[in-house]
Amino acid sequence: MPTGQEILNSVFGAYRLALLDASALRWFSVSVPGFWRSFTAALVVAPPFALIVALRFDPQSPTVESYWLVESVTYALGWAVFPIVMVPVCWALSLGGHYITYIIVYNWSAVVQVGAILPVVIVDAAGMLPAMVSTLLGLLVTGALLLYQWFIARTALQAASLLAMIVVALDLSLGLVVTLGVERLL
């Protein structure tokens, strides 16, 4: 389990990366133990993520239980599948030496990403903005987060721009496959 200081440093580093500060990597505990501790971000992110899931719940859906089951399984798999898939991908792309750094940063970046998404979901769920404006705001935040993910891949993997885009596309694709797979199975 990371110390409170490590959590604060990592979240601060993730925030600095959102500002496109490549020197922010120094805030992360880049080591094998730091790699494993970075999965604590899943616990940090779980409560606001659960709120996002609750606010996006469609009362028209079949059952509340199946909705939460699908979301919970998808959440857990999301934290495992991408890091596992990235092992051979990093080695195939000659980026294996940066794998640990990338996954550490990737994991902690989830805190910043949820922090960016939650206000948009709250505003949308409360109906505070016209639907068109709310949709536009969601698209803008999504675009900013894609840029953020690209910058993380480019910086932490020390990858060329195109390779960083491929990593982000792989992440999105895996997320979609996991979500659709879980929905079909459950």
Q: How many whole angstroms separate alpha carbon 70 and alpha carbon 80?
A: 16
Each of the 186 residues of the chain gets a pLDDT tens digit; together they read: 999 999 999 999 999 999 999 999 999 999 999 999 999 999 999 999 999 999 988 777 667 778 888 899 999 999 999 999 999 999 999 999 999 999 999 999 999 999 999 999 999 999 999 999 999 999 999 999 999 999 999 999 999 999 999 999 999 999 999 999 988 876
User: Strand, coil or helix: what is 9?
Assistant: helix
Give this prediction's pTM: 0.93
Residue 183: CB partners within 8 Å, gap ≥ 6?
Answer: 70
Q: From residue 23, how far is each of 19, 90, 157, 185 by CA, in Å?
A: 11, 22, 13, 43
